[in-house]
Amino acid sequence: MTTIDATPPAADQKGAALNRRRRVYRPNTKYIPILATLALLVVMYISGLVNYENFDQPSVIVNLFRDNAVLLAVAVGMTFVILTGGIDLSVGAVISLTTTLAATLLQGGWPPLLVLPLVLLLGALLGAGMGAVIHYFKVEPFIATLAGLFLARGLALFINQNSIPIRDKLWIALSDLRIPLGETTKTTLTAIVALAVVLIAAGVLAWTRFGRNVYAIGGSADSALLMGLPVARTRIAVYTISGFCAALGGVLYTINSTSGHALQGTGTELDAIASCVIGGVLLTGGAGYVFGSLLGVMVFGLITTIINFQGDLNAAWTRIVVGILLFGFIVLQRLVTRRAR
């Protein structure tokens, strides 16, 4: 009887050990984009400290969150969608519909405690509808959410094409509310709400089964389906979250400005996508963090702040710089994904 020696040759054993060491010591590439964003943010802030007076005031940081609360809320919802490998072009139009509808109802004497959940529910339902169309009818997210964009914007323009002032006492009280953060620094309710949304979303993605499903679908929807994961329910849920966050962004806008307008939110979807990409969220899905999107929004806001401090630069430079950064981070994403393979 012939005995087969199952022991691999010494060279193979040495190669396997080397491969194991490479796997153990290879740096985790998924953190590279978010670390790059954090480094960029630090460099920008230090540059501001060096070049401009009063840039070290706490109000500069506080104002970043206050001025970008709407974008931050929308970017959180967009993060969920992009993590599944999708896209949502309707969020800007949902903002306009929310602001117009809320202002119209409040002007008509509706109680604010009824208007608030109503507009949030409407945003969530629009998102759920688009998610269902995307999943069950196999429509590309770009096309389905583009249809949602036209629908929401059309409804907003149908309701009212003019700016609608809000005179409700509760809304005005929320707009005037200032929350102290120290002896001399205060912030608005909208900034606190946006930060709360970030923390809740980060917890959901990190510590819940739903969050793990989102990442799994973004990695490979077919594999997730074979593993028995609820792909349909999860995909519809992320678009529902995106619609809810867009409606919440619309509510935050009405609180900031005490008005509603059908053209409000134009281009916000592109700003949200840019913030997510700059924050390290992979456009093909499966990788990224809510805190990365937060950093992306802060980079966006800090560019505007530096331009305002400079004083002699055109506001168009914000778009120019963001465009350059987008190219850079898209290339970085490609390099990271190739290295991970």
3-state helix/strand/coil string of the chain? CCCCCCCCCHHHHHHHHHHHHHHHHCCCHHHHHHHHHHHHHHHHHHHHHHHCCCCCCHHHHHHHHHHCHHHHHHHHHHHHHHHCCCCCCCHHHHHHHHHHHHHHHHHCCCCHHHHHHHHHHHHHHHHHHHHHHHHHCCCCHHHHHHHHHHHHHHHHHHHCCCCEECCCHHHHHHHHCEEECCCCCEEEHHHHHHHHHHHHHHHHHHHCHHHHHHHHHHHCHHHHHHCCCCHHHHHHHHHHHHHHHHHHHHHHHHHHHCEECCCCCCCHHHHHHHHHHHCCCCCCCCCCCHHHHHHHHHHHHHHHHHHHHHCCCCCHHHHHHHHHHHHHHHHHHHHHHHHHC
How many CB atoms are located within 10 Å of the residue 39 CB?
A: 10
Residue-level pLDDT at 19: 45
170 pLDDT exceeds 60? yes
Judge contact between 98 and 246, C-beta under 8 A: yes
Confidence of residue 340 (pLDDT cuts 50, 70, 90): low
Burial 179-199 (b: 16+ CB within 10 A, else e): eeeeeeeebbbbbbbbbebbe
Residue 283's nearest CA partner among 30, 81, 76, 143 is 81
- Number of other CB atoms surrounding residue 202 within 10 Å: 18
Q: HSE (CB half, 13 Å, CA atoms) of 78?
A: 38
Using CA atoms, how far apart are residues 128 and 46, in angstroms rounded to an integer? 43
Q: What's the CA gap between 69 and 87, in Å, rounded?
A: 21
Question: d(Cα 196, Cα 141) in Å, to the nearest integer?
Answer: 28
Q: Which of 53-62, 139-148, 303-312 has the highest mean pLDDT?
A: 139-148
Given a cut of 50, whether residue 27 has pLDDT beyond it is no
pLDDT of 2 higher than 50: no
Query: Residue 265 — φ and ψ, nearest 5°?
Result: 90, 0
The predicted pLDDT at position 21 comes to 39
Residue type present at position 295: L
Q: What is the average pLDDT score of the chain?
A: 86
Report pLDDT digits (tens) over 83-136. Answer: 999 999 999 999 999 999 999 999 998 999 999 999 999 999 999 999 999 999
Mean pLDDT on 300-306: 88
- Report whether pLDDT(9) > 80: no
Q: What percent of the chain lies above the pLDDT cut of 70? A: 90
CATH topology of domain 30-340: ABC transporter involved in vitamin B12 uptake, BtuC (1.10.3470)
Say if residues 156 and 97 touch (Cβ distance below 8 Å). Answer: yes
Please give the residue that has the higher pLDDT: either 337 or 23.
337
- 165, β-bridge pairs: 259
Minimum mean pLDDT range among 199-213, 273-287, 301-315? 301-315
Convert the pLDDT of each residue in 215-230 to its tens digit: 999 888 888 888 888 9
Per-residue confidence band for 195, with pLDDT thresholds at 50, 70 and 90: very high
Interaxial angle between packed helices 91-107 and 69-83, expressed in degrees from 0 to 180 and rounded to the nearest 10: 130
Residue predicted with more confidence, 171 or 322:
171
Percentage of the chain beyond pLDDT 90 is 55
Query: Counting every residue, how long is the chain?
Result: 341
Predicted TM-score (pTM) above 0.85: yes
Residue 316 has pLDDT above 90, yes or no: no
pLDDT of 1: 46
Report pLDDT for 103: 95
Task: Between 31 and 203, name the one with better pLDDT.
Answer: 203
